[in-house]
Amino acid sequence: MTAKFRIFTAAMLFAGLAAVAEVPVYLDESKPLEERVQDALSRMTTAEKIGIIHAQSKFSAPGVQRLGIPGIWCTDGPHGIRPDVLWDEWEQAGATNDSCVAFPALTCLAATWNPEMSALYGRSIGEEARYRNKDVLLGPGVNINRTPLNGRNFEYMGEDPYLTSQMVAPYIKGVQENGVAACVKHYALNNQELDRDHVNVLVDDRTLHEIYLPGFKAAVVDGGAWSIMPGYNKYDGEHACENPVLLLDILKGDWGFDGVAISDWGAVHNTEKVAPNGLDMEFGSWTNGLNWGASNAYDDYYLAKPYEKLLLEGKLPMSDLDDKAARVLRLIMRTSMNRNKPYGSLNSDEHYAAARKIGGEGIVLLKNEGSLLPVAPDVKKILVVGENAIKMMTVGGGSSSLKVQRELLPLDGIRELASGRGVEVLYERGYVGDVTGEYNGVITGQDLKDPRTAEQLIADAARAAAEADMVIFIGGLNKSDNQDAEGADRKDFALPYNQDAVIEALVAANPKTVVVNLTGNAYSMPWVDSVPAIVQGWYIGSEAGHALADVLFGDVNPSGKLPITFAKSLADYAPHAKADPAMYPGVDGDVHYKEGLDIGYRYTDKLKPGRVNFAFGHGLSYTNFELGKVSLSGDGLGEKGGYTVTVPVSNIGRRKGAEVVQVYVRDLKSSVVRPYKELKAFSKVELAPGQTKAVKLPLDKQAFAFYNPDTKLWTVEPGKFEILVGTSSDNIAARIPVNITEPLTWSDSVR
């Protein structure tokens, strides 16, 4: 009997007895949520409470059958709904109705700099999860990109806490309007995959609160996330799933989180530590968490029989169990027990359109000398080169690997659009990278083997390039181990598979060469000065071919902006500047964040301005924009005050397009070391040719504050500040002085 059917029959039973007894409060959805939760909790036995706080299968937890309370089904994300696996194994269940739409990776979403795209993304993926009867979507990820070597950066939203905070909340609201919980991950400081199960992060409190926590706080406070996932790593000596500072003091204390803290799969290690320190549900332990142990070992989980034994012996308080069970009941009533949620939809035309729109808006035009792009009308023969033009990118990379209904490859998208314009498109491989096409039982069916040597591949590509009107190279990274993938970090900053040599040979053969790289990370560009046009494409999902072709041919005017800094070398990123293994990858299990606040542009814009290929926030268009005279209004900060920056933006080109106005704040004199500048507001504005709009960007007290670790208060000091307005972190068009006259302090608590 299914959980849904149990709810229905239980409701009918109680309704039928209404003449002699009232319907239990927990079944009456007209009653306040907290009243229902407490009523259900009061009817449960200790064993039933224990039962609902740990898994019963790889991706589900039981409800309370006796009371007609359904369980919870989780699904991996955050880019699409993962195919089903067997009850107690990682192998595929073999279903034929669990294919999905793959949405762009979250780096691509962040590159839109558009919260409306985030809302569309969340709503669309939430509808797919709801249709598949999933209750918890394991995503989005909001860990900060500390190092470009992190194999999981493609799942996150870039290097800046403010950008991440603004993009995550709409995603969560969109998912949860479908009656599906977003599970924000990986809380917190999961900034490398290397030794992720054991690495202990040592970071000062100010850096923790200013850089690594704001995205999670926004997810909880602004997005109203119903669940959150502590990661594998340790913070200050304690695993994230067993860390009282992260889970009790900050998450449930300061932020007032009323949802469920769900362990990453196999991230729990000790009953006596995990039980009292804030984790609510345990998944995936199966002895070691991932790949070995006794089958159906769920009763042996740390929050199962071992926990119950300590409770019954009086060694742990029942109040902790009641809090966990109440939180899980609250989650159940918001999701699987919610009979008023929408039905959802799967693989709809609207979802493919959303994936295409988000992908097109997230693609970043990095360079376009001589207006090589969009493809000119007189171009009649295009040579496409590169493995990533023909390789499926939705399979692989770890838990975000998907089984898609369809995936349009870049080469096919280009050919489709070119065919209607009388353009011939030829293809050469150029290099051979990863020819495999399988992950966790999902098989692409592609045969990417090529018997030619590396030298022959380059020679053949160069020969064909010389005969083409233009060349489009499509390369980058992929979802293989030690590239953009869960469980391992990249081994170096360069593009793999000798791609630099391929690019240099193509440019030598044909100066009209466009480089398009699909990655979730930054990389070195030794050819940056010789290549006239460069496009950052990310992992775009099911509609990759359409989205890329739309931009290359000009059907979509690019408006993406980088959410990460593209420095020239690995040593130009603060964690790697001193080649100190204590900073990365760690020594004796400890990783010291000695760089503090100097992450991404906060470091490069101040100390390495000449060592950046493309700055944070950079992105070009096929039209031109001009910022007018910037003005500042407002009477100061005060308790509820603030300033408004007004920026006239004009489209002085010939195409409709969108520009992102970015506002940074700089503290000119402070009692503590402040970053050179910090993003504190942005707005994307779309303009027709000749059109001007006045963009208004508010700045509240948080825009001028730093976190004081001694007082544990956010602090604004009196003094001189600068408001910097531009279109990227290194392209500042206006500077406005501001004098703050009164000090301000406030707590991080939202209670």
Q: What is the pLDDT of residues 662-713, one digit of tens each?
A: 999 999 999 999 999 999 999 999 999 999 999 999 999 999 999 999 999 9
Which whole number is the average pLDDT over 194-200? 94
Tell me what the pLDDT averaged over the chain comes to: 94
- Burial code of 388-424, b = ≥16 C-beta within 10 A, e = fewer? bbbbbbbbbbbbbbbbbeebbbbbbbbbebbeeeebe
Look up the pTM and report it: 0.95
**Spatial CA neighbour of 598 closest among 562, 622, 567:** 567
pLDDT for the residue 21? 56
For 19-33, 45-59, 441-455, 484-498, which range has the lowest pLDDT when averaged over its residues? 19-33
Residue 202 buriedness (CB in 10 A; 0-12 / 13-18 / 19+): middle
pLDDT for the residue 293? 56
pLDDT for the residue 17? 40
Question: Can you tell me whether residue 234 is helix, strand or coil?
Answer: strand
Q: Is residue 28 annotated as part of the catalytic site, yes or no?
A: no
CA distances from 478 to 153, 194, 439, 497 (A): 13, 18, 13, 11
CA distances from 171 to 116, 120, 137, 229, 638 (A): 9, 7, 12, 16, 31
Token pair recorded at residue 440: 């966790």
Which whole number is the average pLDDT over 63-77? 96
Q: What is the pLDDT of residues 542-590, one digit of tens each?
A: 999 999 999 999 999 999 999 999 999 999 999 999 999 999 999 999 9
Which whole number is the average pLDDT over 312-327? 97
pLDDT above 90: percentage of residues in the chain: 91
Q: What is the pLDDT of residues 213-225, one digit of tens each?
A: 999 999 999 999 9
- Please tell me the distance from the alpha carbon of residue 612 to that of residue 737, in angstroms, as a whole number: 27
Angle between helices 318-334 and 33-42 (to 10 degrees): 130
Is the distance from CB of 291 to CB of 90 less than 8 angstroms? yes
Number of helices (H) and strands (E) in the chain: give both, helices first.
18, 31
Distance, C-alpha 323 to centroid of its chain: 29
Residues paired with 720 in a beta bridge: 739
Q: What is the pLDDT of residues 336-371, one digit of tens each?
A: 999 999 999 999 999 999 999 999 999 999 999 999
Using the 8-state DSSP alphabet, how is residue 82 labeled? P
Local confidence band at 12 (pLDDT 50, 70, 90 cut-offs): very low
In the block, residue with structure tokens 């449960």: 44
Dihedral over Cα of 99, 100, 106, 111: its sign: positive
Does 112 have pLDDT greater than 60? yes
Is the preceding peptide bond at 78 cis, omega within 30 degrees of 0? yes
Using the 8-state DSSP alphabet, how is residue 376 labeled? P
Residue 452 CB contacts under 8 Å (≥ 6 apart), including other chains = 429, 432, 460
Does 6 have pLDDT greater than 70? no
- Please tell me the distance from the alpha carbon of residue 404 to that of residue 542, in angstroms, as a whole number: 7
Which whole number is the average pLDDT over 533-550? 98
Does 14 have pLDDT greater than 80? no
pLDDT above 70: percentage of residues in the chain: 95
Cβ count within 10 A of residue 387: 23
Angle between helices 499-509 and 454-466 (to 10 degrees): 30
Does 291 have pLDDT greater than 70? no
Domains of the chain: 3-334 (3.20.20.300), 354-563 (3.40.50.1700), 565-613 (no CATH), 625-747 (2.60.40.10)
Is the distance from CB of 273 to CB of 310 less than 8 angstroms? no
pLDDT for the residue 18? 43
pLDDT for the residue 88? 87
- Please tell me the distance from the alpha carbon of residue 693 to that of residue 414, in angstroms, as a whole number: 34
Is the distance from CB of 552 to CB of 472 less than 8 angstroms? yes
Residue 345 buriedness (CB in 10 A; 0-12 / 13-18 / 19+): middle
- Please tell me the distance from the alpha carbon of residue 284 to that of residue 287, in angstroms, as a whole number: 8
Cβ count within 10 A of residue 350: 13
pLDDT for the residue 7? 41
DSSP result, 584-614: TT-BTTEEE-TTTT--THHHHHHH-GGGEEE
CA distances from 52 to 75, 332, 333 (A): 17, 10, 13
Query: Catalytic one among 264, 280, 550, 572?
Result: 264
Is the distance from CB of 26 to CB of 66 less than 8 angstroms? no
Does 4 have pLDDT greater than 60? no
Strands 72-76 and 60-61, sheet pairing: antiparallel
Is the distance from CB of 18 to CB of 48 less than 8 angstroms? no
